[in-house]
Chain A
Amino acid sequence: MTVLGVLAVAAAVAPLLARWWGRDAGWPLAAVFLVLAVVIAAQLPAVLDGEVVETSWPWIPAAGVNFALWLDGVGWLFAMLVLGVGALIMAYCARYFGRTSSQSRFYLLMGIFAVAMLGLVLADDLLLLFVFWELTSICSFFLIGGTSLKADKPAMRALLVTAGGGLALLSAVTLLAVRTGTTQLSAILADTSWLQDGWTGPLVAVFIIIAAFTKSAQVPFHFWLPGAMAASTPVSAYLHAAAMVKAGIYLLIRFTPAFSDLALWNVVLVTFGLATAIYGAVLALKEYDLKSLAAFSTVSQLGYLVAIIGIGTSYALAAAAIHTLAHALFKATLFMMVGVIDHQAHTRDIRELGGLRRSMPVSAVLTGLGAMSLAGLPPVLGFYSKEKLFAGFLEAGGPGWVAPLAGGAAVLAAILTFGYAARFWYYTFGGQPSDRSDVREAPASFLFPPAVTALAGLGLGLSVPALRPFAERVVADTGFGAQTVEIHLIPGLTPDVGMSALAILFGLGLFLSRERVDSLLHRRSAPTTGDAVFDRVHATSLAFGRRVGDLTRSAAPPVHIVPAVFVLGVLAAVAVWWGMPVVQPPEPVVRTWDWLVIAAITAAVLGTVLVRNRIAAVVLLGVVGVLLGVWFVLLGAIDVALTQITVEVLTVVVLVLVLRRLPVMFQRVGGVRIGLSAALALAAGGVAAVATFLLTGRRELSPVSEYLMTHSEEDTGGINVVNTILVDYRPLDTLGEVTVVGIAGVGILALLHTVRLRGREDPTPSHRRWSPIEDPWGNAIVIQVVGRVLAPVIIVLSLWMLLRGHNANGGGFIGALVAGAGLCLAHAAAPDPRRSLVLRIPGVAVITAGLALSVVTGLFGLLDGSFLRPLHADIGAYHFTSALVFDVGIYLAVIGTVVVALTRLGVPHPPTEPTREPPARSGTRGERDAQALPPTALDGHDPGNGERAPVRRGDSATEPGGEQ
């Protein structure tokens, strides 16, 4: 844990270091890594004795997740890789980069990656492991993509593939968590009873395999790794050779105790592993770019590891452990040397290289060691690990033919490996010296890190028996108990040695006949590459997504409302399907009068629907509303009726004001559409009718209403129960509705302040029909006379209504609405609308006053303990209640809105002069039009002119300020 902590700190300060020391920040970081490596190494004796170092902190106890770490043999191996190689890479970075370029971002990411990787291999909690797992993917994404402008595609592929694997891992984790009730890795591995639970075991295995394959670049997910070589060489060496890609291997080794006997596990791992090993080797054999060659080699070697783990015997696991170590060493060496060569010779293309052994002897030797290890030549570690691999493959279970087949495939891969390893070295250092006399040997400080790994490979090879306890430890930790693993410096004549020899021999042959091989390989190129497939899938999914989006890409309301109607229909169907109990209403409901009203309304509705003249439609709708009001009276809802009728009047007026600016007729719509909408309409109507019939009016008076009827007078002193509900019992509803109305008024202002009203369309003769309502200013004589007389009367009436509201029909709303109607008249009656009194009323101010008054009255309620609690006081004979004040507030707010609507929508011609100069792009044109043509003509053609600069008008209160 402390190790992790220190590392995290190091990562955190990395950018600072980089800022101070530039590239040399690598040195201190390397030191840190080294120290930590030593710390871990110090645990070795304990680990070898089978102790497991554990620490655990609660992280998300609510979900049973802990921040738990453990260190056993397997963990130790990988931790050492992460830290040891990490240290070297850091040291390498210190010389790899140019002096000038800033590397803070790079060092930061490398630091984070190291933390994540270390956490991954130490995590004892699956969710924690998943977290670190994804972190490594993210780091690699940014390390790849950050490097160059063209690197984003490979980076994207890498992330999508590895993150996909991450999701598979998450699925496995969750599945295990659900089945076992814990996320503790060691516990889950210790008690594998969940394997018995039906398909859980295989499913988890599959998820784990997918995760590992994506991370460790196994066929068919291998393609991201070569692409990832776009990253700088240290990254490739660390993430994409030594550490990150090993995460998959780690996962597989970890889960071996659970799955080593699962046939699915063995088959899949071995088949895909060997396939990858061979495929990767072939591609490596084709490559000219040293780095890509190394990359494919990594793919192939990882294939080896996967396959051997799949064998799932103790010996195989030992081999896996040793080869993991060997591979980390030689692959790190090779990558770093590629970097060195690239640096010194300024190319990585082996067609331009050659004969560098003279100018770069040390490099030649080091690379040679690496290549030998890769090719499996004694006495380097690679030889022994590979030999163990062969031996492992010969242990493959299943029918008799499996083991030879596996062994054969392994040997084939080994042959190819030898081939490209030799190629790697020969084309670079051997052969005729190419005309590159300028190439110098790299400085020692640069060669130091690769030297360490190379020599380590050699040293371990020479002292290979020393690895034995360690290998046995790994075997024990992977669930095979204590077993002895034979490792000799001079192996006896065992079949596996023979296989090694074979591999070397044929490999040599392959190398000697390289020309023929090359030509052969380049005549056949793979039918397709992973990248191509991936990109195709990518493009397709984008296109498909586009199409999905098109389904709803429309701003036409019907497109979005019709589905809702259907959903409601479905709901109705479901209801019917459930079967609804039909209670009989307590008393007969129907009165004969109703049918008359209904008939009338139906007629009006039909009219509204059918006419194509806008004004006519509006008027008919008004009729509908008024008739409805009449029916409300029949239903004993006097207040509602009053409200309904006044609102209807106002609505019609406002509509007419606006319709003056619109074409006389509605847009035409196709016959089919009419038919369809008619059908839909009838269906909807039917459903609604049935729903209403079944869901309403089938019970006694609701208890709450009964309470209201009996208590309202003593509670509130009000007789009109509806009004007491509005202002005493549920004033919050009322407040809300006032707010709505008020905002609507303000909204009209705000709207017309940014967008100007549409001017009147010049009507085409065919449409022209004179209609009195359509043109209030034209035939205003009657209205004027009537209005002059009536308007004041109505205003007074409204006040009266307001005051009596509490005890009789009326109240703030109705009063205000009536007043509104009066104002309409007054407005219409004004001989010149531009100078009508109504214009002088500061709409917003009134609205504000109303709202404020209502809220403040509510606040006073606090005196009696609650917001909106009505207060009572007897002033003289009149029983005064704060509810009345509240009502007044409502009155004002509504009036304000009506005024705004009238004045703003009622201006005969929308003012045209824009107050700010038109926009740069299309402005000049807009400007010219604005001057040349009357505004009315503009809107017809130019869609642009819909939106206009704010309109400055003399009315200060209603003048929204653009000044701030």
Chain B
Amino acid sequence: MTAAVLVGVLVAGAVFLIVQRGLVRIALGLIMLGHAANLVLLAAGGMYRREAPLIDQIAAVQTAADPLPQAFVLTAIVIAFGVTVYLVALAGAGTGDDTEESQ
């Protein structure tokens, strides 16, 4: 539920930004979209288990958060970081970040 709401908010914001003009804004939107996707991943593991998956500290396997999605999210975040950095560089290169010729 909570995750769903948050994902909704993020996606809405992302889509709004993406359909705007200007590469930076689109980039922001895409970053936000990435957040949303990561959130979905975490949610996919189940939101009711919330103990950090450190074997020596958890009470029971059943109460610990699903580690696999966490690993996925980690990977995804970093990948998104890489792409975003490059995209931002693209925005900075060349003749301004406008994505539509009508200037």
A–B in direct contact per CB < 8 Å: yes
- Say whether A689 contacts B78, CB under 8 Å: no
List, in ascending order, chain A residues with CB within 8 A of B84's CB. 651, 654
State how many angstroms separate the Cβ of B101 from the closest Cβ of chain A: 8
A713 CA to B70 CA in the complex, in Å?
18
Instruction: Tell me the number of A-to-B contacts counted with CB atoms below 8 Å.
Output: 331
A747 CA to B82 CA in the complex, in Å?
10
Q: Which of B78-103 contact A (CB under 8 A)?
A: 78-86, 88-101
Q: Which of A759-814 contact B (CB under 8 A)?
A: 761, 808-809, 813
- Say whether B77 contacts A647, CB under 8 Å: yes
A758 in complex: contacting residue of B9, B49, B67, B96, CB < 8 Å: B96
List, in ascending order, chain B residues with CB within 8 A of A632's CB. 42
- Say whether A708 contacts B68, CB under 8 Å: yes
A945 CA to B10 CA in the complex, in Å?
37
- Say whether A722 contacts B70, CB under 8 Å: yes
- Say whether A757 contacts B15, CB under 8 Å: no
List, in ascending order, chain A residues with CB within 8 A of B56's CB. 719
A640 CA to B66 CA in the complex, in Å?
12
- Say whether A697 contacts B46, CB under 8 Å: yes
Name the residue on B nearest A729 (C-beta).
Answer: B71
Name the residue on A nearest B37 (C-beta).
Answer: A688
Interface size on B, residues (CB 8 A): 87
State how many angstroms separate the Cβ of B92 from the closest Cβ of chain A: 4
B9 in complex: contacting residue of A605, A617, A905, CB < 8 Å: A605
A761 CA to B90 CA in the complex, in Å?
16
- Say whether B19 contacts A585, CB under 8 Å: no
- Say whether B32 contacts A752, CB under 8 Å: no
Name the residue on A nearest B21 (C-beta).
Answer: A667
Q: Known contacts being A636-B65, A725-B68, is A662 close to B24, with CB within 8 Å?
A: yes
Q: Which of A93-108 contact B (CB under 8 A)?
A: none
Name the residue on A nearest B87 (C-beta).
Answer: A744
Name the residue on B nearest A678 (C-beta).
Answer: B16
Name the residue on B nearest A694 (C-beta).
Answer: B4
Q: Known contacts being A586-B48, A709-B53, is A748 close to B28, with CB within 8 Å?
A: no
A721 in complex: contacting residue of B10, B19, B54, CB < 8 Å: B54
- Say whether B18 contacts A609, CB under 8 Å: no
A606 CA to B98 CA in the complex, in Å?
22
A621 CA to B29 CA in the complex, in Å?
9
- Say whether A684 contacts B89, CB under 8 Å: no
Say which size band chain A's interface belongs to.
Answer: 35 or more
A559-602 toward B: CB 8 Å interface, digit per residue (1/0)?
00110010000000000000000000111111100110010011
State how many angstroms separate the Cβ of A404 from the closest Cβ of chain B: 71
State how many angstroms separate the Cβ of B31 from the closest Cβ of chain A: 6
- Say whether B28 contacts A561, CB under 8 Å: no
A600-624 toward B: CB 8 Å interface, digit per residue (1/0)?
0110011011000010011001001
Q: Known contacts being A726-B75, A897-B82, is A688 close to B7, with CB within 8 Å?
A: yes
- Say whether A733 contacts B75, CB under 8 Å: yes
- Say whether A650 contacts B42, CB under 8 Å: no
State how many angstroms separate the Cβ of B63 from the closest Cβ of chain A: 9
B97 in complex: contacting residue of A606, A662, A701, A894, CB < 8 Å: A662
List, in ascending order, chain B residues with CB within 8 A of A701's CB. 46, 49, 61-62, 66
- For residue A557, CB closer than 8 A to chain B, the reply is yes
- Say whether B46 contacts A624, CB under 8 Å: no
Query: Which of B39, B80, B81, B99 has the most C-beta atoms of chain A within 10 angstroms of its own C-beta?
Result: B81
Q: Which of B8-48 contact A (CB under 8 A)?
A: 8-22, 24-28, 31-32, 35-36, 38-40, 42-48
List, in ascending order, chain B residues with CB within 8 A of A712's CB. 55
- Say whether A748 contacts B99, CB under 8 Å: no
Name the residue on A nearest B8 (C-beta).
Answer: A689
- Say whether B61 contacts A598, CB under 8 Å: no
B28 in complex: contacting residue of A602, A621, A719, CB < 8 Å: A621
Q: Which of A725-762 contact B (CB under 8 A)?
A: 725-726, 730, 733-734, 736-737, 740-745, 747-748, 751-752, 755-758, 761
- Say whether B85 contacts A688, CB under 8 Å: no
A901 CA to B24 CA in the complex, in Å?
16
- For residue A502, CB closer than 8 A to chain B, the reply is no
- Say whether B32 contacts A654, CB under 8 Å: no
- Say whether A692 contacts B4, CB under 8 Å: yes
- Say whether B19 contacts A677, CB under 8 Å: yes
B82 in complex: contacting residue of A666, A680, A743, CB < 8 Å: A743
A321 CA to B85 CA in the complex, in Å?
77
List, in ascending order, chain B residues with CB within 8 A of A605's CB. 9-10, 12-13, 32
A134 CA to B74 CA in the complex, in Å?
58
Q: Known contacts being A590-B2, A663-B96, is A705 close to B31, with CB within 8 Å?
A: no
Q: Known contacts being A561-B18, A587-B48, A651-B84, is A696 close to B28, with CB within 8 Å?
A: no
- Say whether B95 contacts A945, CB under 8 Å: yes
Name the residue on B nearest A628 (C-beta).
Answer: B35
- Say whether B36 contacts A702, CB under 8 Å: no
List, in ascending order, chain B residues with CB within 8 A of A669's CB. 20-21
List, in ascending order, chain A residues with CB within 8 A of B38's CB. 628, 640, 644
- Say whether A601 contacts B9, CB under 8 Å: yes
- Say whether A689 contacts B5, CB under 8 Å: yes
List, in ascending order, chain A residues with CB within 8 A of B42's CB. 632, 635, 637, 640
B48 in complex: contacting residue of A565, A609, A695, A697, CB < 8 Å: A697
State how many angstroms separate the Cβ of B65 from the closest Cβ of chain A: 4
A46-57 toward B: CB 8 Å interface, digit per residue (1/0)?
000000000000
List, in ascending order, chain B residues with CB within 8 A of A905's CB. 88-89, 92
List, in ascending order, chain A residues with CB within 8 A of B13's CB. 605-606, 608-609, 681, 685
State how many angstroms separate the Cβ of B12 from the closest Cβ of chain A: 3
Q: Known contacts being A689-B5, A737-B79, is A725 close to B71, with CB within 8 Å?
A: yes
- Say whether A680 contacts B19, CB under 8 Å: yes
List, in ascending order, chain B residues with CB within 8 A of A587's CB. 48
A696 CA to B16 CA in the complex, in Å?
24
- Say whether A636 contacts B1, CB under 8 Å: no
- Say whether A617 contacts B61, CB under 8 Å: no
B93 in complex: contacting residue of A556, A693, A755, CB < 8 Å: A755
A658 in complex: contacting residue of B55, B89, B99, CB < 8 Å: B89
- For residue A5, CB closer than 8 A to chain B, the reply is no
Query: Which of A598, A662, A692, A742 has the most C-beta atoms of chain B within 10 angstroms of its own C-beta?
Result: A692
Query: Which of B22, B32, B94 has the most C-beta atoms of chain A within 10 angstroms of its own C-beta?
Result: B94
List, in ascending order, chain B residues with CB within 8 A of A705's CB. 45, 66-68
List, in ascending order, chain B residues with CB within 8 A of A661's CB. 92
Name the residue on A nearest B98 (C-beta).
Answer: A667
- For residue A947, CB closer than 8 A to chain B, the reply is yes
List, in ascending order, chain B residues with CB within 8 A of A562's CB. 19
List, in ascending order, chain A residues with CB within 8 A of B45's CB. 697, 702, 705
B22 in complex: contacting residue of A628, A667, A692, CB < 8 Å: A667
State how many angstroms separate the Cβ of A511 from the closest Cβ of chain B: 69
- Say whether B99 contacts A598, CB under 8 Å: no
State how many angstroms separate the Cβ of A133 from the closest Cβ of chain B: 49
- For residue A152, CB closer than 8 A to chain B, the reply is no
List, in ascending order, chain B residues with CB within 8 A of A614's CB. 24
A734 CA to B79 CA in the complex, in Å?
10
- Say whether B15 contacts A685, CB under 8 Å: yes
- For residue A61, CB closer than 8 A to chain B, the reply is no
Q: Known contacts being A637-B70, A686-B8, is A939 close to B96, with CB within 8 Å?
A: yes
State how many angstroms separate the Cβ of A61 from the closest Cβ of chain B: 48
- For residue A13, CB closer than 8 A to chain B, the reply is no
List, in ascending order, chain A residues with CB within 8 A of B52's CB. 636-638, 809
Query: Which of B12, B18, B84, B86 has the most C-beta atoms of chain A within 10 angstroms of its own C-beta?
Result: B12
B99 in complex: contacting residue of A557, A681, A734, CB < 8 Å: A557
A758 CA to B36 CA in the complex, in Å?
31
Q: Which of A899-934 contact B (CB under 8 A)?
A: 901, 904-905
Contact sample, A vs B, 25 pairs, CB 8 Å cutoff = A558-B19, A558-B21, A585-B48, A589-B3, A618-B24, A624-B35, A636-B49, A640-B38, A651-B31, A661-B92, A681-B13, A682-B12, A684-B12, A688-B8, A697-B47, A705-B45, A705-B66, A709-B53, A737-B75, A744-B82, A744-B83, A894-B78, A901-B89, A904-B89, A905-B92
- With A680-B19, A737-B78 known, 5 other A-B pairs at CB within 8 A are A591-B2, A747-B89, A751-B90, A897-B85, A939-B95
